[in-house]
Amino acid sequence: MRGPHNIVRLIRTGATFERTGAMQVVLDAFEAPKPLRILARTLGWPFKWLGYKGDPSMPPATRALTALGPAYIKFGQVLSTRPDVVGQDMAQQLRVLQDQLPPFSRDEAIAQVERELGQPVSQIYSEFSEPIAAASIAQVHRARLVDSGREVAVKVLRPGIERAFNKDVDAFYFAARIADLFAPGARRLKPMDVIEHFDGVVQGELDLRLESAAASEFAANTKGDEGFQLPEILWNYSARRVMTLGWADGLPIGDNAALDAAGHDRADLARRVLSLFLRHALRDGYFHADMHQGNMKVAANGDIIAYDFGIMGHIDEYTRRVYAEILFGFIKRDYKRVAEVHFEAGYVPADRDVDEFARALRAVGEPIFGMDASHISMGRLLNYLFEVTERFGMETRTELILLQRTMVVVEGVARSLDPHINIWETARPVVEDYIKKSIGPRAVVSDLLETAKVMARFGPRLPALVEQALIAQSHLSDEAANRKSARSWVVPGLCGLAVGLVVAFAAVAIG
């Protein structure tokens, strides 16, 4: 219920940051200006007693986020991939949010598995370990199947996680509504739409049947990708709150020391992480949207293994082409074309100046073009990008939120593996390959063929569609036609035929 009672929840958020000591740490990490610091401390300090205590053994920011709940932990997971934004120390502290949270008991997990699968655990698994990894929504146990002896991973949702998430999201909706009403400048960011999008993503995570389906689709798309593996989903041992998949042996991609000791080339891994994400987003329009270090391993042969498919992103063909053209324009340093693409796609209001926007984009691209990541301040870059979006009235595109979020996370993971990675040179071959296949003469021929297929499929229905449209038009114009001469009736009749044809072809186009 999105009522005023959420005011207490929001106050408690600030109070928790104050009580755990995280307020000052977070303000320092984001280099907050003095007025914001004064405001935050003024609002937080009087209500400090309302804040959650959290686990005193944890660092302040981690302690506050874990105490507040799963939705806040999700935010912390994103920040853990950006040491260039929050600092190396805080990023390292937040890394525990990826898969090292306090677990629930093995007995609770077993009881939940038995309820979901409808039989005793001993009849399914000959071994069932204590939790080996625990995140905000679920935890993982290592097990062995009775029938085949195969080693598997069993993912089990946290008890009561649905209620906890809904409680957090409820407060977020309330905060977004307040921002909508009392902060007109924030409306272009569409806070309600953003929270609604977040809510939809989270609800998908809370049904492991959907995650299993996502993993299956992702596996079908990427089966030919060299150096990339996905664990197999075992549908017979999966349900809404339990998922069983093949065990993936490998080193955590966030453990640089272990990767070095095993002889893996971290620079190559960084390039592959970034290239794989771009390939999946552009080629397939379907990508892993939660690619932080806790969801990837490196196999002994150097393959990258991805898992945890609760959050997947999808972008349509048109958006992929826009995205590719923007990236390609930056790579070629053609800022005028990048600006034009933004206007053509409707990302920038038509009443703004395209040349002025191109110059703003040049100010974004030139300082970082050709530079390795160690010389790029992502914090300052994101700050300037926000200024540009505000200046040109750019609204939040909810369909791009997952893509943009994943880009930030993946670039952070790549940077953590190789601080000197050149993102432009890494992206170039993937983007150029997509451009050749999807934008140009070959793409035109492909589009025409797709259109012909649609026409052929719905061709037999065209006469009936036209007839239905003509009949409908005839009924609407009967009364007017009766009052006109025979000569004046011809014009609306022909117009009706034209409308009928347009309706028919529109119906064909949209299926």
Give the per-residue pLDDT at 306: 94
Average pLDDT over residues 279-292: 90
First and final CA of the chain: distance in angstroms? Answer: 39
Give the per-residue pLDDT at 25: 78
Give the per-residue pLDDT at 505: 34
Average pLDDT over residues 267-296: 92
Are the C-beta atoms of 470 and 496 separated by less than 8 Å?
yes
Which of 424-438, 460-474, 475-489, 491-505 is least confident? 491-505
Average pLDDT over residues 284-305: 92
CA nearest neighbour of 196 among 176, 215, 182, 224? 176
Average pLDDT over residues 118-137: 92
Per residue in 229-239, pLDDT (tens digit) is: 999 999 999 99
Give the per-residue pLDDT at 30: 66
Q: Give the confidence band of 211 by pLDDT, cuts at 50, 70, 90.
A: very high
Q: Give the confidence band of 448 by pLDDT, cuts at 50, 70, 90.
A: low
Are the C-beta atoms of 270 and 141 separated by less than 8 Å?
no
Residue 120, token pair as written in the block:
């005793």
Q: Does position 483 have pLDDT exceeding 70, yes or no?
A: no
Among 245-254, 368-377, 455-464, the range with the most confident prediction by mean pLDDT is: 245-254
Q: Does position 486 have pLDDT exceeding 70, yes or no?
A: no
- Confirm whether pTM is higher than 0.85: no
Q: Give the confidence band of 84 by pLDDT, cuts at 50, 70, 90.
A: low
Phi and psi at 444, nearest 5°, equal: -60, -45
- pLDDT: which is higher, 100 or 360: 360
Q: Which residues are catalytic?
A: 290
Give the per-residue pLDDT at 298: 96
Q: Does position 500 have pLDDT exceeding 80, yes or no?
A: no
Burial class (CB in 10 A: 0-12, 13-18, 19+), 206: buried
Q: Give the confidence band of 327 by pLDDT, cuts at 50, 70, 90.
A: confident
∠ Cα 270 274 275 (to 5°): 110
Q: Does position 321 have pLDDT exceeding 60, yes or no?
A: yes
Q: Does position 447 have pLDDT exceeding 70, yes or no?
A: no
- pLDDT: which is higher, 97 or 130: 130
- pLDDT: which is higher, 284 or 27: 284
In the chain, % of residues over pLDDT 90: 30
State the residue for tokens 């199947």. Answer: 145
Give the per-residue pLDDT at 502: 34
From residue 500, give the alpha-carbon distance in Å to each of 46, 178, 459, 472: 68, 47, 15, 9
From residue 434, give the alpha-carbon distance in Å to each of 221, 284, 327: 16, 11, 11
In the chain, % of residues over pLDDT 70: 79
Q: How high does pLDDT run on average in the chain?
A: 80
The ranges assigned to domains in the chain are: 6-98, 162-203, 250-439, 447-510
Average pLDDT over residues 53-68: 86
Q: Does position 496 have pLDDT exceeding 70, yes or no?
A: no
Q: Does position 402 have pLDDT exceeding 80, yes or no?
A: no
Alpha helices (runs of H) in 223-291, residue ranges in sequence order: 256-261, 266-279
Which of 53-67, 205-219, 359-373 is least confident? 359-373
Are the C-beta atoms of 279 and 286 separated by less than 8 Å?
no
